[in-house]
Chain A
Amino acid sequence: MKKFILLLLKFSTALVGVVTFLVIISALIGRSLFPFQIQEDKNILILGNSHPECAINDNEIDGVINLAQSGTAYFYDYLKLREFVNKNHHIDTVILGYTYSDLKKEMDEWVTGEDKLKFKIRDYFILFNSKDYFALAFSNPVGVITNTPQTIFYNLNAGIKGLPHMGGFKYLERNKLKEAKERLKKQNTNETPFKISNYQGKYLKKIYAFCKERNITLILLSTPLHPMEVEYQKEMLQSYNNFASKNLPEALLINHSNFQLPESYYADLDHLNHKGARLYTQYLKTNYFDR
């Protein structure tokens, strides 16, 4: 028995040592291979989750790069922002997705929940420093530890895949509006009182502070939502405005949630499909970027 326990201890030590070594080495290789450098003529960086990811086609607007990705919490946006701005001093404007629901308490799950953690830790691991890692580990120790070994392959993959690994415009063909409406009708509108997410609030403030420190214009953008969704989320509107005016006073808040679009331009209640994206991108181009 003693021999067995000793063997297990030795093996566990070797396992932790080898895995840690491989994780670090692969992260370093992934980082060194990753093309962080953005073209000089692109000075506007778009970050956020699936809302800006599906709404703004950066191929149609000069000077813009969209690195938003579905399921991304502000924690990861902060890591992305820090890395890309530090490596691209020509970025002077950041457009960050900021819709009503981005601040709600349930969004904490996007940082601590196993479902998102599994994918996001491996996608963004090359952006982590030790402080970020321990901050995340503190939020969900078991989830972070068990999901760390998978980063070995994904760190290397990030280096090979390049920018699309971190996000980019998503061309959505689907139109699942009908199903989404049915689902929403079944939901209770007053389920829980609105509370602000700890992690979303904290990292949104960090993003704001980071941009301010570097004289970067921060634009908080709510991309178009379906009118039914706007109605459903109207309770959150006040908190949404209050949070921005109180904590992010110098950020420019653009609320396009009421932007009028035909029904066939939505992928669902929160997202635009490719037709909606084309129209909305044109609108942004004409009314904001070309000016």
Chain B
Amino acid sequence: MLFNSLDFAIFLPLVFVSYWFVTGRNLKLQNLLIVIASYIFYGWWDWRFLSLILFSTIVDYSVGLGLAKEKNALKRKILLITSLCVNLGFLGFFKYYNFFLDNFITAFSFFGREIQGNTLNIILPVGISFYTFQTLSYTIDVYKKKLVPTKDFIAFSAFVSFFPQLVAGPIERATHLLPQFYKKRVFDYRKAVDGLRQILWGLFKKVVIADNCAQYANIIFESHTDYSGSTLVLGALFFAFQIYGDFSGYSDIAIGTSRLFGFDLMKNFAFPYFSRDIAEFWRRWHISLSTWFRDYLYIPLGGSRGGTWMKVRNTFIIFIVSGFWHGANWTFIIWGALNAVYFLPLLLLKKNRANTDVVANGKFLPSIKDFLNIASTFGLTLLAWIFFRAETVQGALDYIGGIFSKTLFDKPEVLPYKLMPFILLLILVEWVQRENSHALEMEVDKPILSRPTRWAMYIGLIVLIFSFGGSQQEFIYFQF
């Protein structure tokens, strides 16, 4: 079920009313309702893959209980490895089987040995990378004794399958989300109002920005050899706003929806395109994944505590794995590696935490230095997105070659004037609100704008969503 669909527009109020009124605010019934609703939400795409979620849930629940009882270090390790094998096994099979097979065949044929292998026609279950990482965080935290395993199977199932963030995150930590399923939820008016605002802004980003940018980005990327360098720059720009609108929009809707049910999810985006360097960008982009890799991969590898070589190695590992997480294609791996290359000088010069505050804090405009830093960081990101979007590495290289041609300063063949004001509106609103957790955040009790002004703004956004929504596209991150 897509967030920007009629199905969801009917589904959400039904679940909301049942959750607060029909269950009599009984915690167990509420959790059960969340599980049922989440399975319906997921099954709307393909009910067959519900078995994967259920199996994963049962395995990790049992492993958690096993880890609680078991004192023997070896047996505890075996339990952890079982969970890792099951979860990563599913992920590996569904997502990476064909990739590895193709590359083995290519590698062998390079050395003069022809081997046979049949690729399988595998459908990738929606959101498998997200819920796999979420359940892994539970097993790892229980193993490390950071979390007491739950005995409540329904609460655990609700944690694994919680529909707002099941298919595209934010990837929640068990230590943060699971305890929320144990506590009695009380309806919080302020939280719910703020949640609705966040949903509205998320829909604007998805439907008006991402879906419209997608149309242009798709045309330009698919026939990039036909366009001038200037148009190719625009194509990359459209993709940058498409992926931001798409993914951060999804996260906003997910977080806002969770708030309607009394849950707090972690922030996933913090206005990343206003970053002044790549390190700051990665603290602001897909935060739940970056921090997951930091906590469960980078730090266990030694983080930045070791010598220079260790720092370089760990940085490359985390970025390349992050790239590979996005998809089984060399383009994603190069995208990750390229970001590591961007990041490394900052790390080695110990400037990776130079920009931890909000840019131009307390001012309306940034300084010239900040502005140039934002522009150069955005430029680097744009270059990396070309690898992310291209079908093949050669395609990405050709695209970049096309940009740096003599047609770079020609008038672009594609100039969507209709779309520009919306992108400017997005930038303006997010810039003004960059100190808040989302673009429409305001004090509910003492809002800075009067009610008629706020309502006019909301109605304006709703009209824009219905008027200028691009053709409905799936969320990009579903494929990951």
The answer to whether A and B belong to the same complex is yes
Known contacts A11-B455, A14-B459, A3 near B467 by CB under 8 Å:
no
Q: Are A7 and B193 in contact (CB under 8 A)?
A: yes
- Give the secondary structure class of A's interface: helix
Asked if A55 lies at the interface with its beta carbon under 8 angstroms from chain B, I say: no
Pick the residue among A1, A15, A142 that contacts B462 (CB under 8 A). A15
Asked if B449 lies at the interface with its beta carbon under 8 angstroms from chain A, I say: no
Cβ contacts under 8 Å, B467 to chain A:
149-150, 152-154
Instruction: Tell me the smallest distance from the CB of A7 to a CB of chain B, in Å.
Output: 7
Residue ID in chain A nearest B452 by CB atoms: A14
Instruction: Tell me the smallest distance from the CB of A20 to a CB of chain B, in Å.
Output: 11
Asked if A177 lies at the interface with its beta carbon under 8 angstroms from chain B, I say: no
Residue ID in chain B nearest A148 by CB atoms: B466
Instruction: Tell me the smallest distance from the CB of B242 to a CB of chain A, in Å.
Output: 20
Asked if A146 lies at the interface with its beta carbon under 8 angstroms from chain B, I say: yes
Asked if A22 lies at the interface with its beta carbon under 8 angstroms from chain B, I say: yes
Residue ID in chain A nearest B469 by CB atoms: A150
Asked if A4 lies at the interface with its beta carbon under 8 angstroms from chain B, I say: yes
Asked if B404 lies at the interface with its beta carbon under 8 angstroms from chain A, I say: no
A interface, size bucket:
10 to 19
Cβ contacts under 8 Å, A7 to chain B:
193
Cβ contacts under 8 Å, A28 to chain B:
none
Q: Are A4 and B192 in contact (CB under 8 A)?
A: yes
What mask results when residues 450 to 468 of chain B are scored 1 for a CB within 8 Å of chain A, else 0?
A: 0000010011001100111
Residue ID in chain A nearest B462 by CB atoms: A15
Q: Are A18 and B459 in contact (CB under 8 A)?
A: yes
Residue ID in chain A nearest B463 by CB atoms: A149
The answer for the CA separation of A3 and B444 in the assembled complex, in Å, is 13
Instruction: Enumerate B41-67 residues with CB–CB distance to A below 8 Å.
Output: none
Known contacts A15-B459, A152-B463, A1 near B193 by CB under 8 Å:
no
Instruction: Tell me the smallest distance from the CB of A129 to a CB of chain B, in Å.
Output: 22
Residues of chain B touching chain A, judged by Cβ–Cβ distance below 8 Å, are 6, 20, 187, 189, 192-193, 455, 458-459, 462-463, 466-468
Q: Can you list the 8 inter-chain pairs with the closest CB atoms, starting with the nearest?
A: A150-B467, A149-B466, A1-B187, A149-B463, A18-B459, A153-B467, A4-B189, A4-B192
Show 24 A/B contacts (Cβ-Cβ < 8 Å), sorted by A.
Answer: A1-B189, A4-B187, A4-B189, A4-B192, A7-B193, A11-B455, A14-B459, A15-B458, A15-B459, A18-B459, A19-B459, A19-B462, A19-B463, A22-B463, A142-B6, A146-B6, A146-B466, A147-B466, A149-B463, A149-B466, A150-B466, A152-B463, A152-B467, A154-B467
